[in-house]
Amino acid sequence: MRYCSNCATRVELRVPQGDTLPRYVCPACSVIHYQNPKIVVGCIPEWEDKILLCRRAIEPRHGLWTVPSGFMENAETLGQGAERETLEEANARVQMGNLYAIYSLPHINQVHVLFRARLLDLDFKPGLESLDVRLFSEEEIPWDKLAFRVIREPLKRYFEERRQGKLGFHMGTIEEIRQ
Amino acid sequence: MRYCSNCATRVELRVPQGDTLPRYVCPACSVIHYQNPKIVVGCIPEWEDKILLCRRAIEPRHGLWTVPSGFMENAETLGQGAERETLEEANARVQMGNLYAIYSLPHINQVHVLFRARLLDLDFKPGLESLDVRLFSEEEIPWDKLAFRVIREPLKRYFEERRQGKLGFHMGTIEEIRQ
């Protein structure tokens, strides 16, 4: 952020009075431009013993597989966001189920919210942001071709819990891997 | 939003190629300025059969009571955010417990995340944004002086569930009340 989106003056980075963190502040109109984490919503669409994954047609991780998910939009609920993303990326209709996992990703300022969902029919096909959309049984999951750790971790847990017959909500943190 | 925060050009509101919603787009540098929901994190700090509430020293709802909560910041986890807010508003140290409730508030583009927490000591006192901080038993809760519906609903549920001996996670939506 370099300019005030309200009046186009060059912003300053400073701690406003009564605050504890540096913010972009406009010296002309005094607007404080807060920056906050974004929410990514998605779901695990289930059909019998299989789940639906999308192969990404966009960066990052072009060509790798993920569950339908994306940035939550203004004016929608978490469940509506996950439903919309599933329609956009897989042209798939789902009935949203229980919340399955929430991960904080503090190094990239995101919170990922993942539901379980029931796929309502098999008339899915890739949306604009997908190269391919397919159903996978546990044995078929392309574990080495999954796009993100925030997908791999809950999916590992999902199949493990499913084998044990107890699917429960989990909250976690995905930290940056320093190499 | 009127000007591009990257180059100070007047932004246009239009649907970018491949997108479905209108966004603020810069005609000069092509940056798309997405606007997404914000996360509010908070907790119910518990001490024996009482919970801690703060009386707001700021607008909106100056003078009314609420649980410690506020906007999640970049670079923190949900739990860290709730812990920080509790320290800022009540100078209270807590150990974060289970997730208790998540509410989508689509009419104001917010998602509220509420934990249960264990108050670690009684050395709390009002922070800058609080007029007063107190422990309340169920009978003492100022139900008609609570600041927000998104606080009243989970607190009603909390005491009801506690009486029944089963405190469980709940997900919901708070819609705008049209009058």
Q: What is the pLDDT of residue B179?
A: 52
| Residue A57 pLDDT > 60 | yes
Same domain flag for B138 and B80 = yes
Interface of B with A (CB under 8 A): 1-8, 11, 18, 20-21, 33-39, 71-80, 88, 99, 102, 104, 106-107, 109, 111, 128, 169, 171, 173
Same domain flag for A7 and A64 = no
Q: Note the pLDDT tens digit of each residue in B34-86.
A: 999 999 999 999 999 999 999 999 999 999 999 999 999 999 999 999 999 99
Distance between CA atoms of residues A120 and B91, nearest Å: 49
Number of structural domains in chain A: 2
Tally C-beta pairs within 8 A across A and B.
110
For residue A24, being part of any structural domain is answered with yes
Interface test with B, best of A171, A175, A176 (most B CBs within 10 A): A171
- Cite the DSSP H helix spans in B3-93: 78-90
Lookup result for tokens 């997404």: B36
Same domain flag for B93 and B5 = no
Same domain flag for B29 and B50 = no
Distance between CA atoms of residues A40 and A109, nearest Å: 11
Interface pTM (ipTM) of the complex?
Answer: 0.95
pLDDT category of residue B176 using cuts at 50, 70 and 90: confident
Instruction: Report which DSSP code applies to A9.
Output: P
Same domain flag for B91 and B150 = yes
For residue B179, being part of any structural domain is answered with no
For residue B19, being part of any structural domain is answered with yes
Q: Which residue among B36, B72, B107 sits closest to A73, beta carbon to beta carbon?
A: B36
Q: Which residues of B touch A77 (CB under 8 A)?
A: 104, 106, 173
Same domain flag for B61 and B112 = yes
**Residue B8 tokens, joined:** 């100070």
Q: Which residue among B3, B80, B102 sits closest to A78, beta carbon to beta carbon?
A: B102
Q: What is the pTM of this model?
A: 0.96
* Virtual torsion, Cα B2, A37, A64, A49, nearest 10 deg: -120
Distance between CA atoms of residues B52 and B120, nearest Å: 12
Q: Note the pLDDT tens digit of each residue in A130-177.
A: 999 999 999 999 999 999 999 999 999 999 999 999 999 999 999 987
Same domain flag for B92 and B18 = no
For residue A179, being part of any structural domain is answered with no
Structural domain of B12 = 1-35
In angstroms, the Cα distances linking B29 to A10, A24, A26, B77 are 17, 20, 21, 33
Contact B90, B127 (CB under 8 A): yes
Q: If you average pLDDT over residues A28-43, what whole number do you get? A: 97
Same domain flag for A11 and A44 = no
Lookup result for tokens 């990239």: A108
Contacts of B117 (CB under 8 A, 6+ apart): B43, B44, B45, B46, B82, B83, B86, B94, B95, B96, B97
Contact B5 A6 (CB under 8 A): no
* CATH (domain of B23): 2.20.70.10
